[in-house]
Amino acid sequence: MKIGTVLQNWAQAALAKLDEGYVCLVAVCEAKGSAPREAGAVMLVYKNHIDGSIGGGELEFQAIKTARKDIPETAFAREVRSYPLGPALGQCCGGHVKLMFEWYGPSSQSVLAQLATQKQGYSLHPATAQDNPIIAIHPSEEMLCLPLGAHQQPVFLYGAGHVGRAVVQIARHLPCQIYWVDTDDERFPKDIAEGVTKLPARHPETIAQRAPSDAIHLVMTYSHQLDFEIVSAVLGRGNFARCALIGSETKSARFNKRLRDAGVNSDAVERLTCPIGLPEINGKKPIQVALSVTAQLSNWLISSD
């Protein structure tokens, strides 16, 4: 069983660009040894651009070349090719991958439309047949499985200042659903990135109290008092994935004391991450802080898979 995790619904993305002509789905169906991506990684190859990635480098270059060159005459076709990741590809990985290619033309619209409407389950792809993918609620042990409604972990980011804006610009590319919270609609930029939900709230702590139990909370507002109210709301409810606060070691110590004095459970206080971000990434400019924060967020999202 190989389950893809890159595109939330690959069929939906393919269908949206089908008017450009053929679309080729490329998926890693087997990966052995040192390989750039895991089995299940996917990308869509169009005439002039791609979505997703199977690892970059010469392997991806050759896959894109194949996807655009070997367009079949039939409406749909599937092929599996093997690639040793050694001298033949000019790479030194030493592993071995098998890639599945599926070409979809204009007459495949009904098949893709059916897959694109699914919000849960998987598309199953038989590597040794030319049948169209089928929909299944549960993954199969025999075929490549691509999710049609991958779960996007909710991330609540509090603060639309310089750092918050920089974090959103980077984090929107991660497999998560971002809810951007601040006290005034005018604090947000005019253009909000696709996939980011803007939540103006006079009292952001009420948003924190009602967030899903698997939410990650990133707190970086313009006010220490507002930070405290949000963090208190998150830690006080107990059911959250992560809670991180921007600040220094001094701020961390003061908040820990204030939280305990306010009656917040000590175990919950210990779960607060402050300062937020990876210490290996230095610098205090907004983009540097954002890189540190988003790198840590990426690690959290991976560990929760």
Answer with the one of 129, 147, 165 that is the final residue of a domain: 147
Are both 142 and 225 inside the same structural domain?
no
pLDDT of residue 72: 78
Do 64 and 44 lie in one domain? The reply is: yes
**Which residues lie below 8 Å from residue 233, measured CB to CB, with a gap of 6+?**
205, 206, 208, 209
At 27-59, the pLDDT tens digits run 999 888 877 788 888 999 998 888 888 887 888
Residue 297 has pLDDT above 60, yes or no: yes
pLDDT, residue 58, reads 85
Indicate the SS3 state at residue 211.
coil
pLDDT digits (tens, 9 = 90+) for 233-243: 999 998 999 99
- What is the number of domains present in the chain? 2
Give the pair of three-digit tokens for residue 121: 């389950």
103 and 167 inside one domain: no
Q: Are residues 43 and 91 in the same domain?
A: yes
Is the same domain home to 18 and 120?
yes
Question: Domain boundary at 110, 130, 147, which?
Answer: 147
Q: Does 91 have pLDDT greater than 70?
A: no
Cβ-count burial 43-79 (b if 16+ within 10 Å, e if not):
bbbbeeebbbebbeebbbebbbebbeeeeeeeebbbe
Pairing label, strands 144-147, 122-125: antiparallel
CATH assignment of the domain containing 245: 3.40.50.720
Average pLDDT over residues 247-251: 94
143 and 11 within one domain: yes
State whether 6 and 91 are in the same domain.
yes
Confidence band of 94 (pLDDT split at 50, 70, 90): low
Average pLDDT in the chain: 89
Query: For the whole model, what pTM was predicted?
Result: 0.68
Which pLDDT score, from 0 to 100, does residue 4 have?
Answer: 41
Q: What residue numbers bound the domain in which 236 lies?
A: 153-303
Has residue 87 got a pLDDT over 60? no
Mean pLDDT of 151-160: 90
pLDDT digits (tens, 9 = 90+) for 258-291: 999 999 999 999 999 999 999 999 899 999 999 9
Percent of the chain scored above 90 by pLDDT? Answer: 59
Single residue among 147, 170, 195 that ends a domain in this structure: 147
**pLDDT reported for residue 28:** 92
- Asked whether residue 157 falls in the same domain as residue 241, the answer is yes
pLDDT on residue 49: 87
**What pLDDT sits at residue 32?**
86
